[in-house]
Amino acid sequence: MATGRVHGWTSAFGRNLAEAVTYPFESWRGTAGLVAVTVATYTLLVLTSMPGYSLQMLADGLRWFDLVLVDLTDTIYRTDGSTGLAIVALYAVLTGVAAVNAAAQLRLVGLAGLTDLTGVLPGVLASGCASCGAGLLGFLGFAGGLAALPYDGALLRIGGLVLLVFFLGRAGHPERCVVSPGVTEG
């Protein structure tokens, strides 16, 4: 009996996650929003991997922006390889999905509908550069605490990804109710 409940929950979770991830591609606005938020998030995560370098170079002018972005992307790749770069890219994409879904829920049901996606914030704050593990928390001044974590904060980054996936899977498609009729909890 308990195995049936777990299987039912995991299949519903998988279906909700698939619907949440594919929702931005249902319209050109959703896709454009996903691309815009993904690019902005990737840029922010990469620039905050070495905030001092980023600020010094960009203070001299925006003409250095592309060089800084390419240099820091290369640093991430050289430090942690393709896996580290994939983690940063995955964070950016999942953040874009979460932002588009949150905007849809806000548009449809107002502020009360955002309760399913509010848990995305910890995952975004814990995310970040695969080269240093600091991410946005490091930018906020918590880099020393993150450096003391085992595996240089890699577990925190993976935990942040798990949080993003969990809350997206829990929320599902923003235009559909995720509670099935006749299903009781407990």
Distance CA 132, CA 50 (A): 8
The packing angle between helices 2-22 and 154-171, to 10°, is: 90
The packing angle between helices 65-109 and 2-22, to 10°, is: 120
pLDDT value at position 146?
54
Task: Give yes or no for a contact between 100 and 33, defined as CB atoms under 8 angstroms apart.
Answer: yes
Query: Would you list the domain boundaries of the chain?
Result: 9-171
Distance CA 39, CA 35 (A): 6
Distance CA 130, CA 76 (A): 6
pLDDT value at position 35?
97
Residue of higher predicted confidence among 20 and 109:
20
Distance CA 29, CA 175 (A): 15
Q: Work out the average pLDDT over 92-119.
A: 75
pTM, full prediction:
0.73
Task: Give yes or no for a contact between 156 and 133, defined as CB atoms under 8 angstroms apart.
Answer: yes
pLDDT (tens digit, 9 = 90+) per residue, 146-185? 555 555 556 667 777 888 888 888 888 887 765 544 444 4
